[in-house]
Structure 1
Amino acid sequence: MWGWLALAIGAEVTGTVALRFSQGFSRLVPSMITVVGYGLAFWSLSQALGRGMALGIAYGTWAAAGVALVALIGVFFLGESLTWVQLGGIALVIAGVLALELGGATAHA
């Protein structure tokens, strides 16, 4: 399950970064990478869900990891900036996913 989710995250991040370079879908290669990336991301996410991963955990992890990775790629490779408030927001998203995971673990114990 987690492998499928990791593939979904990687594909979504790849598609999102390619979207940045597609210039409104006017450049063919980045546009194709975007479409394939998002398609693979949703398919992989569906595989994780189909194998029993809880929807809240899967989607929360997918979204939080995607936000954090895209923000970091933007800072380190695309010359974008990140304020302390934005970093705090990313930390809160990640904390929310952890709370979902930990809350689910105690509910099933």
Structure 2
Amino acid sequence: MDYPELDDSALRAFEELGGDLDLQPVSSKPYLCMPTTSRTRPRRRVGATYLLRLGDPLSTPRDIANALGLSRVPQLESGTAEDGEASFCRLSQSSINALDAWIEKDNHAK
């Protein structure tokens, strides 16, 4: 049994069960469905984490928290840099923005 015969068989069975089919010709034009505001999904924010290498003048996580006005001390990470062992802090995008503002303010003060 090939596909056209299967389709005919399925249609006959559907009609025997009392189904009512209104076979409309299928349009060859694509149907574009524009999403409504109730159907749109909110954008998910992608959270990036940055590593900042500790060094003068920000040599400890507490120095970073104090300089940037953070309510929490950033997480300390140890690793290897080009010149050997190094310490890093994990910072969020908002902390990086605060760091940029702090650097800008510090450069204007000099």
The answer to whether the superposition gives a TM-score over 0.5 is no
Q: Which has the higher helix share?
A: 1
Greater relative contact order (CA < 8 Å, ≥ 6 in sequence): 1
Q: TM-score, normalised by structure 1?
A: 0.22
Q: Which has the higher strand share?
A: 2
